[in-house]
Structure 1
């Protein structure tokens, strides 16, 4: 798998396929320890060397599972990112089922904390859960309703940690692009994770985040490029979701039209979805998760498929792709 794209400004390099651990933290339903370990090993075997997690994922389960796996690998051979903004604390009710989408029972609960002290506590806790000696990149996680707190607390703390050499890079990870653009323009971050807002289905980040990132030399990690599963199959399945809610009839029709064009060009919809996003020069890597080794191998193979230029032209002419979207070239396609 091709590597060598810069992630941030500290010399980190990543390949086109980054692995997101949320599904392995029992997002939606349980994944066994064996299946989680097999998926991570399959990702490593496929050449993946950038792994992303967060305390939020399974109330620490994602970090524990990832840390146990990465502890078996040479530390200088992988890039690791996690997130801050949700500190895990003792749940006063004791062991409880999670109420934020993860199939876990835990004695812990999340507490939003975007303060400098919260950042340092969160990172210390993450290192302990993972059993590793350092984290390369840190994202401020979902500060949608905490803009001021993040700007005045979390980002200065991360900037100090970067100056101290504790971390290499920092930024924010969100499901929107507008606030990410604000952070790009008003802090000295060097990497952001944008989930779902620059995909084959929608390219709104072209209006704010991506121009700002290009101008400021900020790397973008594109996440959720399947838009919660809508683009994950050759045709959207009944009951497909968008932003973790049932997809509308209009969205399903648009995805169906995109799938028609892909089929006419002999291209699978998931392959087009993964490779399209890499066409933008600000995008360093595509972060996607999987629940099994089989899903990992399938996703890795999609990066290697050749996609004809005619696909992008046909999508644009049909009004299904913005004409100003940078497109993958034969040289850029993995």
Structure 2
């Protein structure tokens, strides 16, 4: 199985709408390229991502792929019009709203609805999704509820998915979770999670799925745009400047910036895979090419020499 996973937030109409056919084409392209890991969440498009992903995978042998979704927000009718763009960032009708809930009942309720939207009776991994403001409930009630479901075989693995590294480290220390989906905190641009989380995960046998490896846009193109995104908002100038320094080193070696960004996290022994959000078949094919095209070792040497990677940071082997 490829170390590349398909992140389905984009096919939930993240930022802009796409058609069902375009979404299906992206999933089909991933499958044809050998991708067998697919990740989604109720949050993504108010359930649209799960519905589209489930439909695209419906005819595939269930044991041939790995499927993950998330809990912590369940969906209920909103009674309002308009779109979800301003509230959640998804170009979908705002006929539903997200309700934060890390209670045992909330977790089971959310998972049951996700299984219905996905059209399946089980998922391989369930992540506690963004429990930043809900630590006590997430660790005290949501995790035990998932542990019970794991024991029953309804859930294969338990994880936590966040945009920070400190709380996932606490989960690793205090629970028996299997995975961490770490978004944006271990990338070619920055590695704040290296010592405090990834080292801990390697020691305890917890696998790390690296997500948002382009820092939500900043590293996604060979040339860094003036209006590039970082952490879902417009990137500050100092981040743009650093990304351009990295891109310049890549260019000297004939390597595209996203090519280096997608391969970099896998050098760490705790990182099992990289998840990339793709909204079209073309984006899938680009990601596969970036993953498969070798990078000369001298590029990593130059990044170290110019102070853009620390000596303690693992890099892909020559």
State the TM bucket, normalised to the shorter chain: over 0.9
Aligned residues of 2:216 and 2:230 also touching (Cα < 8 A): yes
- Which string of whole-angstrom CA distances, capped at 9 and with x for unpartnered residues, describes residues 32-80 of structure 1? 1110010110000010000000000000000000000111111010000
Tell me the number of residue pairs that the alignment of Structure 1 and Structure 2 aligns.
316
TM-score, length-normalised on structure 1? 0.93
Q: Deviations over 1:197-249 (max 9, x none)?
A: 00000011112110110111000000000011111111111210100111111
Q: CA RMSD in A?
A: 0.9
Output aligned runs, 1:243-258, within 5 Å. Answer: 243-258=231-246
- Of 150, 153, 156, the match for 1:168: 156
Kindly indicate whether the alpha-carbon contact (under 8 Å) linking 1:88 and 1:110 is maintained by their aligned counterparts in 2. Answer: yes
Match for residue 34 of structure 1?
Answer: 21
Which residues of 2 match residues 1-334 of structure 1 at below 5 A? 3=1, 15-91=2-78, 93-98=79-84, 99-330=87-318
- Given the two structures, how large is their TM-score scaled by the length of structure 2? 0.98
Distance (Å, rounded) in 2 between the aligned partners of 1:322 and 1:47: 33
Q: What is the deviation of 1:95?
A: 4.3
1:246-298 deviation digits (Å, cap 9, x = unpaired) = 11111111111101111112211111000011000100100011111111101
Deviations 1:298-320 (A, max 9, x none): 11111111111111111011110
Shift of 1:106: 3.7
Cα distance in structure 2, aligned partners of 1:133 and 1:184? 27
1:16 is displaced (CA, Å) by 1.3
Question: Do the aligned residues in 2 keep the contact of 1:224 with 1:287 (CA within 8 Å)?
Answer: yes
Contact 2:226/2:240 (<8 A) preserved: no
Moved over 3 A (4+): none
Q: Residue 273 of structure 2 aligns to a residue in which SS?
A: strand
User: Distance in 2 between the 1:16 and 1:237 partners?
Assistant: 28
- 3-state SS in 2 of match to 1:145: coil
Q: Return the alpha-carbon distance in structure 1 between the equivalents of residues 205 and 67 of structure 2.
A: 20
Greater fraction of residues in helix: 2
Secondary structure of 1:24's aligned partner: helix
Return the offset for 1:107.
2.2
1:312-331 Cα deviation digits (max 9, x unpaired): 1110111101211111125x
Long gaps (5+) in structure 2: none
Secondary structure of 1:136 counterpart: strand
Distance 2:113 2:233 in 1: 32
- d(CA) in 1 for partners of 2:109, 2:314: 40
Aligned residue for 2:267, secondary structure, equals coil
Aligned-partner Cα distance in 2 for 1:258–1:283: 22
What SS class does the counterpart of residue 155 from structure 2 fall into? coil
